[in-house]
């Protein structure tokens, strides 16, 4: 009997014009998202490589390694980030790395090109989150009450059919009829990606598969919500209205409002305040160092080069000390801010997660590697690179001045030294997050989606048990 219900449901759905229209448009959108994502990835990679080339070009012709004060590193474009944008366009992608000192990430995509911030991108996450959920609502709103209005509910229950089978049959039938056909454009899209030459590692393919799976789970959750509401109402027009209100609340309003209301409830110390404190402390340290510098005297006053050499070493040693103190001070301030931010995050996201739409967003972004952790991950990688760069500078020049004062003496102009080879600078290799790193945070949200589906399934069951079938 269950199988018959499922078959009937499938046939109902697949032969309706509603299905043809909505499926065609969803398929078109999904393929478009894959295509434009691929094109954007290629464009981003071209710009990334051009920026890197310019970066190296600017040190061509330099004859002294001491003149190379810093190296600009960039966050390389990630293929999954073009499919699920997340916050990848809101974080700074460029970091100016000196041998020592704090790093700051600048140049966000939306900050540089605000035209994209106005309407943002049509990525896979958007299609799943907004379009597919609306799709689910449009199909599920008259699941039970529509059949009652058409009179076919009575006819179905003229057969020996237990009530619980009916809801299950409806859900499975709707899911199979709607979600499985969507796999076709998704697979075509993945094929398109390989044709376009987008390099995805095995890890990334698995993550993409998980993102699609979560999307389908989210779709199923909305189907369940739709069926539950339809089992609670008698008229399909009121079911549709109620579902629309739920859709607007869950997809459009709740995530945003939760973040904005709960986010501001926690008092996070502002960056301006922290930077001002750091600046003042640094001034204080510089003042102390001035006194030290005034009391410096070289061991011999004959050899110019030797004098300068000694002075440089002296400067490096006081720089090291100063940096140690600065690091301690900064670490304390940064930790305080990070703790408050973590609290803010757990509060805001916790409330937002009540909406399955937010849970899906967070899961998809976590799996794609474009969640809030991207910022910290990039900063961590930049810090590690700073160590590499500092060691490199130390090897080449015997000191690591960072951004500080560098003193060079050229006595004899006829002495033209050979230009350095910029390619000797160690390249910044960014290691993207792996599945094992992102899975723990995604699992929470995937679990929430499961729970939501189960809850509404139970609700639909209960509602239908007392439903007037006539």
Partner 1 sequence: MLGILIRKELTATLLSPKFGATFAVCAALILLSVLIGIQEYRAAVRQYDEAIQLAAQNLRTESSWMGLSTHAYRRPDPMQLLITGVNNDVGRASGINQVEDVKLTNSLYSEDTIFALFRSVDLTFIVSVVLSLFAILFTYDAVNGEREGGTLQLTFANPVPRATFILAKLLGSWLSLVIPLLVPLALGGLVLLLSGIPFSVDQLERLALFLVVSLLYFTLFIALGVLFSTLMRKSSMSFLVSLSAWVVLVLIVPRLGVMAAGAARPIPSVAETEAQVDAFAKDRWEAQMQAMQSRWQQRQEAMRSLTPQEREAYQRDHEHAWTEDDAAGRRDVERDIDAFSLRVSEDFRNRKSAQERIALSLARISPASSYQLAAMSVAGTDISLKSRYEDAMRAYRSAFTAFVDKKQQETGHQGGFRITVDSQTGFHFSAPRERGTLDVSNVPVFSPPQSTFGEMAASVAIDAGLLSIVTLLSYAGAFLTFLRYDIR
Rule CB under 8 A: which of 164-223 touch partner 1?
none
Q: Rule CB under 8 A: choose which of 66, 307, 354, 469 binds partner 1.
A: 307
* Alpha-helical segments (H) within 295-415: 304-352, 356-368, 373-397
Q: Which residues of 182-220 are buried (b: 16+ CB within 10 A; e: fewer)?
A: beebbeebbebbeeeebebeeebeebbebbbebbbbbbb
CB-neighbour burial class of residue 229 (10 A; exposed 0-12, middle 13-18, buried 19+): buried
111 binds partner 1 (CB under 8 A): yes
The C-alpha angle with vertex 121 and arms to 116 and 123, in degrees rounded to 5, equals 165
Residue 325 or 375 with smaller CB distance to partner 1: 375
We find the least distance from the C-beta atom of residue 432 to partner 1, in angstroms, to be 18
Segment interacting with partner 1, rule: CB under 8 A, options 29-37, 171-179, 428-436, 446-454: 29-37
Residues 351-410 that bind partner 1 (CB under 8 A): 352, 358, 361-362, 365, 372, 375, 407, 409-410
We find the least distance from the C-beta atom of residue 460 to partner 1, in angstroms, to be 22
Residue 121 or 329 with smaller CB distance to partner 1: 121
Q: Please, what sign has the CA dihedral across residues 154, 156, 159, 164?
A: negative
Segment interacting with partner 1, rule: CB under 8 A, options 100-108, 173-181, 324-332, 435-443: 100-108
Segment interacting with partner 1, rule: CB under 8 A, options 121-129, 203-211, 222-230, 390-398: 121-129
Q: Rule CB under 8 A: choose which of 150, 264, 313, 465 binds partner 1.
A: 264
Q: Rule CB under 8 A: choose which of 156, 345, 434, 441 binds partner 1.
A: 345
Residues in Cβ contact with 108 at an 8 Å cutoff, skipping those fewer than 6 apart:
89, 90, 91, 92, 93
Q: What are phi and psi of 106, to 5 degrees?
A: -125, 175
Distance CA 257, CA 137 (A): 22
14 binds partner 1 (CB under 8 A): no
CB 375 within 8 A of CB 103: no
We find the least distance from the C-beta atom of residue 164 to partner 1, in angstroms, to be 30
Segment interacting with partner 1, rule: CB under 8 A, options 4-12, 166-174, 191-199, 305-313: 305-313
Segment interacting with partner 1, rule: CB under 8 A, options 178-186, 225-233, 289-297, 417-425: 289-297
Task: State the DSSP code for 71.
Answer: E
Distance CA 7, CA 9 (A): 5
Residues 224-243 that bind partner 1 (CB under 8 A): 237-238, 241
Conformation bin of residue 61: beta by default, left when phi > 0, alpha when psi is -120 to 50 = left
Would you list the DSSP string of 92-133?
--EEEEESSS---EE--HHHH-HHHHHH----HHHIIIIIIH
Number of C-beta neighbours around residue 113 at 10 A: 11
Number of C-beta neighbours around residue 346 at 10 A: 12
Residue 158 or 423 with smaller CB distance to partner 1: 423
Length of the chain: 470
CB 447 within 8 A of CB 93: no
Q: Rule CB under 8 A: choose which of 261, 331, 394, 429 binds partner 1.
A: 261
We find the least distance from the C-beta atom of residue 331 to partner 1, in angstroms, to be 19
Q: Rule CB under 8 A: choose which of 18, 163, 164, 332 binds partner 1.
A: 18
Residues 33-72 that bind partner 1 (CB under 8 A): 36, 39-40, 43, 46-48, 50-51, 54-55, 57-59, 61-62, 67, 72
Segment interacting with partner 1, rule: CB under 8 A, options 196-204, 267-275, 321-329, 461-469: 267-275
Distance CA 145, CA 233 (A): 6
333 binds partner 1 (CB under 8 A): no
> What tokens does 384 get?
């590690």
Residue 201 or 421 with smaller CB distance to partner 1: 421
Residue 27 or 161 with smaller CB distance to partner 1: 27
We find the least distance from the C-beta atom of residue 74 to partner 1, in angstroms, to be 6
Segment interacting with partner 1, rule: CB under 8 A, options 5-13, 126-134, 196-204, 458-466: 126-134
């Amino acid at each position: 009997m269950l199988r018959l219900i499922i078959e009937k449901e499938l046939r109902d759905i697949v032969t309706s014009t509603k299905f043809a229209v909505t499926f065609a448009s969803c398929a078109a959108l999904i393929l478009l998202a894959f295509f434009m994502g691929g094109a954007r990835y290629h464009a981003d990679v071209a710009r990334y490589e051009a920026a890197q080339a310019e970066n190296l070009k600017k040190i061509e012709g330099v004859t002294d390694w001491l003149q190379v004060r810093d190296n600009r590193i960039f966050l390389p474009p990630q293929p999954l980030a073009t499919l699920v944008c997340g916050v990848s366009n809101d974080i700074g992608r460029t970091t100016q790395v000196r041998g020592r000192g704090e790093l700051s990430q600048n140049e966000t995509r939306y900050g540089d090109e605000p035209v994209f911030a106005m309407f943002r991108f049509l990525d896979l996450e958007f299609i799943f989150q907004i379009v597919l959920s609306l799709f689910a609502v449009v199909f599920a709103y008259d699941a039970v009450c529509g059949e009652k209005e058409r009179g076919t509910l009575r006819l179905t229950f003229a057969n020996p059919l237990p009530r619980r089978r009916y809801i299950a049959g409806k859900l499975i039938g709707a899911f199979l009829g709607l979600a499985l056909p969507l796999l076709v454009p998704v697979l075509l899209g993945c094929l398109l990606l390989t044709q376009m030459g987008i390099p995805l590692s095995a890890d990334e393919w698995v993550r993409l598969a998980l993102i699609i799976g979560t999307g389908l789970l989210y779709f199923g959750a909305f189907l369940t919500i739709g069926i539950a509401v339809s089992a609670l109402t008698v008229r399909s027009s009121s079911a549709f209205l109620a579902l629309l209100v739920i859709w607007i609340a869950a997809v459009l309003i709740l995530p945003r409002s939760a973040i904005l209301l709960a986010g501001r409830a926690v008092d996070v110390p502002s960056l301006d305040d922290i930077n001002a404190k750091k600046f003042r402390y640094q001034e204080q340290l510089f003042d102390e160092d001035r006194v030290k510098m005034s009391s410096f005297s070289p061991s011999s006053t004959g050899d110019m080069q030797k004098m300068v050499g000694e002075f440089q070493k002296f400067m490096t040693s006081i720089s090291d000390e100063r940096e140690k103190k600065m690091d301690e001070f900064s670490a304390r301030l940064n930790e305080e801010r990070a703790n408050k931010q973590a609290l803010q995050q757990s509060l805001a996201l916790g409330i937002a997660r009540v909406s399955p739409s937010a849970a899906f967003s967070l899961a998809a972004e976590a799996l794609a590697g474009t969640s809030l952790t991207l910022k910290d991950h990039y900063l961590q990688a930049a810090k590690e690179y700073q160590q590499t760069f500092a060691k490199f500078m130390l090897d080449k020049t015997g000191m690591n001045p960072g951004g500080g004062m560098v003193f060079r003496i050229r006595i004899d102009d006829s002495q033209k030294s050979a230009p350095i080879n910029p390619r000797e600078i160690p390249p910044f290799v960014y290691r993207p997050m792996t599945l094992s790193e992102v899975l723990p945070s995604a699992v929470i949200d995937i679990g929430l989606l499961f729970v939501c589906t189960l809850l509404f399934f139970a609700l639909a069951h209960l509602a239908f048990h007392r439903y007037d079938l006539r």
